[in-house]
Amino acid sequence: MKPGARRHRSQGRQSRPPRPAGPPVELLIEAVGGEGDGVAAGPAFVPFTLPGERVRAVGSGNERHELIEVLEASPDRVSAACPHFGTCGGCALQHWAREPYLAWKVERLAGTLARQQIETEILAPFLASPQTRRRVALHARRGNQQSARLGYKARRSWDLVDIAVCPISDPAIQAAIPAMKRLAAPLFEHPKSAPTLHVTLTASGLDIDISGVERKSGGLSADARVQLAERAAEADFARVTLDGEVAYQARLPQVRLGPAIVAVPPGAFLQATPQAEAAMADFVAQEAAGATRIADLYCGVGTFTFRLAQIGQVHAADFAPDAIRALSGALASAPGLHGVTAEARDLVRRPVLAEELKKTEVAVFDPPRAGAAEQTAELARSSLARVIGVSCSPATFARDARTLIDAGFSLERILPVDQFLWSPHIELVGVFTR
């Protein structure tokens, strides 16, 4: 929206959550809260609003309100990129201009660290571009025999927003939406089936792992499996699996991670966008430069491993045996590495001990959202000179960072990474030194 525009109807073209009861009220939005909603005095939370805006909204006496219209718009308001914005629960902030949106994310990150009494240098954030997401999870609901309904959950609802486009996703994923709707149609033999298509774009094509198909009744019939395979072949998908079990495979899905070509296991974790992965991996490698022995903990299929092995010897560990097998199998595709050892290991129940890290100079850890409390305690006990933490959760990162700082480390700098575009989430890479 251009500065000076005065009135706006709230956005979205599909059915909305039920509007709360109560008379409309005028509110002045003072800030944006942690979930991306505008916050007025009270507090009152109003989605799709920005600081400085005066709005009409309706609530039911609690903090939650629904936007009726924007009476005075912020100069930072822009037109949403997606026709489903406002009803789809996937994006919360498409209406906010780039610079204030990024500044808000960095401010939230700094506030999360401050709650653990941590201050550090926060570098300029990396921002993913639209149409770069290579991983999405699409929910399917019964349609007809030829095409299921497919999309994301509606905002504050279990209903489905049947999507036609998704501007955050790679164009190859968007182009395949009609074919994926056809693929999902045979999955509803059992009334309790609620399938989710976990879609990953690889160098070999789309890899789709399907969860949520009712299996207590015996799973899909032979006829349904034949239809699934036929429709996957029609769409030229690389592979389709049912909870990891291959239902169709034309090509082995592969991705390049640094110098290596990795065959991706069904449902394996990859960073959401290749560009963010490259930015994080380059930063990690830069901060690990000069090390001769490196530990890569929660390594997955080798997001950082292969790049680190161009610097020094790497010991990689992860709880997923299939990820470790994929990593080990890719070593032959990347000549010139300094050496990689890899093990499947539960780093919560059996973290790599401080004693095992005696000859290690740098440790990298990239845990799930729950963080790495047990492993961080061992890193804190170790004689490591440098630790690099990668996290999708600033809150658990700050908790783990506090453990390292209390043991004598200093958090030198953080690179914020915004690869979940237009959502409230922010990721980061933090560098600790003794």
Catalytic residues: 392
Coil, strand or helix at 65: strand
Question: Could you tell me if 40 and 30 are in contact, meaning their C-beta atoms sit under 8 angstroms apart?
Answer: yes
Going by C-beta distance under 8 Å and a sequence separation of 6 or more, which residues neighbour residue 351?
A: 374, 375, 377, 378
Angle formed at CA 315 by CA 113 and CA 358, multiple of 5 degrees: 75
Extract the tokens encoding 60: 């039911």
C-alpha separations of 69 from 8, 28, 46, 90, 185 in Å: 5, 12, 11, 21, 38
Extract the tokens encoding 420: 């979940």
Q: How far apart are CA 240 and CA 34, in angstroms?
A: 36
C-alpha separations of 172 from 185, 199, 205, 210, 268 in Å: 21, 11, 9, 19, 19
Q: 40, 51, 50, 54: which is closest to 6 by C-alpha?
A: 54
Amino acid at 340: V
Instruction: DSSP for 215-270, please give it.
Output: -TT-SS-HHHHHHHHHHHHHHT-SEEEETTEEEEESS--EEEETTEEEEPPTT---
